């Protein structure tokens, strides 16, 4: 296993009937389970591998309000509000701490992008508290920041949480509120009766239910395809490392084009590659290109395209399967790509040149993760109108850890028919077909 994931043992017995089945035990699935269970809804959470073992334990652990799409800000604000009380609410440690975050600016053009973002979210600024830092202000917040940074975008109330702790802790809290938590329990598909959801078939048996929430991360596309639903999704691969405890380093999380870092609860740092991601060519890369291109062309400089084994792995993966036979989810319990070690070496070199404290950092672990990506880099948090009772929660495209609790809360609203806490319209399934394509806002 790649990380020091806190294990969540499975329940012994599969429930025969619940109100809601949640597919996937990442941060979105466990948060949805928790907020539903808290409202007295009976829930079964089914995870094909271990709770949190894919993206939700591999990410950088940033919980940041700044830099996102303006239409997502209310969801993000609510999510951070939930993180602030989460440890107390669930009676366990998620590692959440407020630490502040900075996007470092190297040029006048970067500063203009920061100012442009602040302008685009002006109505939320009192709650966000985000500001554009001058060169001098940057030195006050991040002492010793190298002189080639001319300022940055800063939010003092941004935070961090520990990906190896958070999803397991929330899953256990959902269980203590009555949810069944099944691991090594792939859901092969759903069943319908008179056109609406009536249950799911798992590798351990069937569960009757009225609603299904698919929070399957990078697997949502193939799950939907087998159910006859077209779901647009691609994947990006990215590498990460963590250090052993390191004294004297910055407490504020920071990101520059070539690296990112944030303090960990154990005193070390989680270090990422900044905005550098790999797009492994797979058959879907070609099928999806027209839908993704309007966004991809903005992000092209941050993506490296590679042809490798994954092309053939995905080419030979069954596109259709029967629910009484083994599904692809059982054949790949945990997506565990290899990190690109040479990239991580380069990242540490650049980071150490900028912040000399990292010269003495001892690397404790390196790993990689597969980010699920939607065509406009915005999430789908939505009912699927063609199949009443079926919902999808995924697509955060690299920022779903911080938004996880807010997304889970919203899914609980949608499933129960409660008044949504935030407007779900920007996250609807039909947004690429019901009008002009949503405008893409590059993240800052
Ligand atoms: C390297 C990296 C860095 C990142 N950094 C950040 C960050 O700093 N901040 C941030 O906000 N976001 C970050 N992200 C993004 C964030 O991690 C994801 O958006 C978020 O974790 C997605 O959560 P999820 O629950 O949707 O998916 P996942 O965590 O991937 O969980 C989906 C789960 O569904 C299960 N599953 C799938 N199909 C089935 C099935 N049929 N039956 C049963 N189980 C199934 C899978 O096994 C998996 O465990 C990063 C991502 C990566 C990879």
Ligand 1: residues with CB < 6 A are: 23-29, 46-49, 53-56, 58-62, 186-187, 215-219, 223, 238, 240, 329, 369, 371, 394, 396, 398-403
- Tell me what pLDDT residue 3 has: 59
User: Is 1.10.10.10 the CATH number for 20-100+157-432?
Assistant: no
138 CA distance to ligand 1 centroid (A)? 32
- Tell me what pLDDT residue 199 has: 98
The rounded distance, in Å, linking the Cα atoms of 3 and 18 is 32
Q: What six digits make up the tokens of 11?
A: 């329940």
- Name the percent of the chain lying above pLDDT 90: 94
- Mean local confidence (pLDDT), 387-403: 98
- Mean local confidence (pLDDT), 259-287: 95
57 CA distance to ligand 1 centroid (A)? 8
- Name the percent of the chain lying above pLDDT 70: 99
53 CA distance to ligand 1 centroid (A)? 8
- Tell me what pLDDT residue 155 has: 98
Give the up-direction half-sphere exposure of residue 153: CA atoms within 13 A in the CB hemisphere.
26
Q: Among 374, 398, 410, which residue has the most ligand 1 atoms within 8 Å of its CB, making it the best to mutate? A: 398
Contact yes or no for 161/361 (Cβ under 8 A): no
The rounded distance, in Å, linking the Cα atoms of 91 and 245 is 26
Closest to 430 measured CA to CA, from 290, 232, 196: 232
- Tell me what pLDDT residue 299 has: 87
pLDDT above 70 for 240: yes
The rounded distance, in Å, linking the Cα atoms of 282 and 289 is 11
- Mean local confidence (pLDDT), 158-179: 98
The rounded distance, in Å, linking the Cα atoms of 196 and 391 is 12
pLDDT above 80 for 333: yes
For 33-52, the pLDDT digits (tens) are 999 999 999 999 999 999 99
For 46-98, the pLDDT digits (tens) are 999 999 999 999 999 999 999 999 999 999 999 999 999 999 999 999 999 99
396 CA distance to ligand 1 centroid (A)? 9
- Mean local confidence (pLDDT), 272-294: 93
- Report the atom number in ligand 1 closest to the C-alpha of 403: 11
Where in the sequence of the chain do the CATH 3.50.50.60 domains occur? 20-100+157-432
For 200-232, the pLDDT digits (tens) are 999 999 999 999 999 999 999 999 999 999 999
What is the residue-averaged pLDDT of the chain?
96
- Tell me what pLDDT residue 2 has: 52
262 CA distance to ligand 1 centroid (A)? 19
Helix (H) or strand (E) holding 277: strand 277-280
- Report the atom number in ligand 1 closest to the C-alpha of 335: 47
The rounded distance, in Å, linking the Cα atoms of 396 and 410 is 14
- Tell me what pLDDT residue 83 has: 98
- Tell me what pLDDT residue 69 has: 96
Helix axes 73-90, 163-176, angle to 10 degrees: 70
């Amino acid at each position: 296993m790649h990380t020091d994931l806190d294990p969540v043992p499975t329940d012994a017995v599969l429930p025969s009937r619940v109100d809601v089945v949640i597919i996937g035990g990442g941060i979105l699935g466990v948060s949805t389970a928790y907020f539903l269970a808290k409202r007295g809804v009976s829930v079964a959470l089914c995870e094909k591998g271990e709770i949190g073992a894919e993206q939700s334990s591999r990410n950088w652990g940033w919980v940041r309000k700044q830099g996102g799409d303006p239409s997502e800000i209310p969801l993000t604000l609510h999510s951070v509000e939930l993180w602030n009380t989460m440890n107390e609410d669930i009676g366990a440690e998620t590692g959440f701490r407020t630490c502040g975050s900075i996007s470092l600016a190297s040029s006048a053009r970067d500063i203009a992008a920061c100012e442009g973002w602040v302008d685009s979210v002006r109505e939320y600024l009192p709650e966000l508290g985000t500001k554009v830092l001058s060169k001098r202000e940057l030195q006050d917040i991040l002492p010793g920041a190298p002189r080639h940074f001319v300022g940055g975008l800063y939010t003092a109330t941004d935070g961090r949480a520990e990906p190896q702790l958070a999803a397991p802790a929330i899953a256990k809290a959902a269980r203590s509120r009555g949810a069944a938590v099944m691991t090594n329990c792939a859901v092969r598909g759903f069943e319908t009766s008179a056109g609406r959801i009536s249950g799911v078939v798992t590798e351990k048996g069937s569960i009757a239910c009225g609603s299904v929430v698919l929070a399957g991360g990078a697997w949502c596309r193939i799950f939907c395809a087998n159910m006859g639903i077209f779901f647009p999704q691609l994947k990006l691969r990215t590498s990460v490392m963590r250090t052993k405890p390191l004294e004297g380093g910055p407490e504020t999380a920071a990101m520059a084009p070539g690296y990112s870092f944030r303090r960990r609860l154990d005193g070390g740092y989680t270090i990422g590659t900044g905005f550098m991601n790999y797009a492994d060519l797979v058959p879907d890369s070609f099928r999806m290109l027209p839908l993704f291109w309007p966004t991809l062309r903005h992000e092209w400089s941050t993506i490296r395209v590679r042809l490798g084994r994954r092309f053939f792995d995905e080419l030979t993966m069954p596109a259709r399967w029967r629910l009484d036979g083994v599904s692809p989810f059982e054949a790949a319990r945990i997506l565990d790509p290899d990190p690109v070690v040479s990239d991580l070496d380069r990242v540490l070199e650049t980071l150490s040149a900028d912040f000399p404290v990292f010269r003495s950092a001892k690397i404790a672990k390196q790993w990689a993760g597969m980010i699920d990506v939607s065509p406009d880099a915005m999430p789908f948090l939505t009912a699927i109108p063609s199949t009443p009772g079926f919902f999808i929660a995924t697509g955060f495209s690299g920022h779903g850890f911080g938004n996880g609790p807010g997304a889970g809360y919203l899914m609980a609203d949608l499933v129960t028919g409660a008044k949504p806490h935030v407007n779900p319209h920007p996250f609807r399934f039909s947004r690429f077909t019901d009008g002009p394509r949503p405008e893409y806002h590059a993240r800052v």
